[in-house]
Amino acid sequence: MRAVFNKTLLEIAKKDKRIHMVLADIGFGEIEPFRDTFPERYYNVGVAEQNMTGVACGIAMEGNIAVTYSIANFPTLRCLEQIRNDVCYHDANVKIVIIGGGVSYGALGMSHHSTEDLAIMRALPNIVIEVPCDNNEAIGATYAMIEHNGPFYYRCGYKGEKDIHSGPVDFKIGKAITVREGSDITLMFCGPIGSEVVEAADMLEKEGVSCRIVSMHTIKPIDKDAIVDAAKKTGGIITVEEHNLMGGLGGAVSEVICDTGAYPKVFKRLALPDVNVCKIGGQKWIRDQYGLQARGIADSIREALGKRK
């Protein structure tokens, strides 16, 4: 997905001279085309994420669009104060792009996981949060990011993610995409873990369970209408995310349910538990350790449906 993001950003930058990239000495293998095409709009500040964010804010406040780019949690947690005080407070046109959300860098340990980022970013005012699930959404999210005037958080996949959509999608900020219709339960997900959700739904379909599948690519502002509709028209809602159980997609959906009073017959959040994810291994293996592979998701859905009955 990162390759698609970088290719799309480069194509947009060829038509929009306001776009600048600010990096913290990372991203090599993907960012060279932008660097070589626009050397005057490319900045490598070294391993200094706080400085990266400050420089980006200054560039943006001169009337430009600044894109910060690094892996996992480094463009967020290391420079949270700068994002809060410089970018969001000034409503600056800075786009914070992380590569490898969740446990994409599983073999490098918890220092390289981004499992709290959605909760932290969601609490900041004036920021849009996007979590595309595949290459098709990544393209749409990149265009939406540049078109939006203001702070933007883009949680990008790493590499090798399966495409969930068969082709281009109608991508709009704050508007969920229905991947598949169903009536027994609604599965809402964000990010590349959606491929596991689709596989789980396929398993259940063979057992006669009809699953509505919804890509909630926008965490903020969230699609309240999609949540209320699912609560009223299907047998319940289950959220799935590669993030801590606290404060991410599941938290955002449950807030809408409580605020609107649109209580589904069953509601369950599937996510990483509220622990330090210290296990070392590949992304799919770590997902499996916490029940976030397709078979684990299917088991949780069966359990939830059984409780409803």
Task: Check if 49 is active-site.
Answer: yes
Catalytic residue from among 11, 30, 32, 49: 49
Residue 22 to residue 114: CA distance in whole angstroms = 20
Crossing angle for the helix pair 2-13 and 135-147, to the nearest 10 degrees: 40
Strand partners, 98: 70, 155
Q: How far apart are the first and last CA of the chain?
A: 40
Dihedral over Cα of 27, 30, 36, 41: its sign: negative
Burial zone of 93 (CB within 10 Å; 0-12 exposed, 13-18 middle, 19+ buried): buried
Compute the distance between CA of residue 163 and CA of residue 1 in angstroms, rounded to an integer: 10
- In contact, 81 and 118? CB cutoff 8 Å: no
Positions marked catalytic: 49
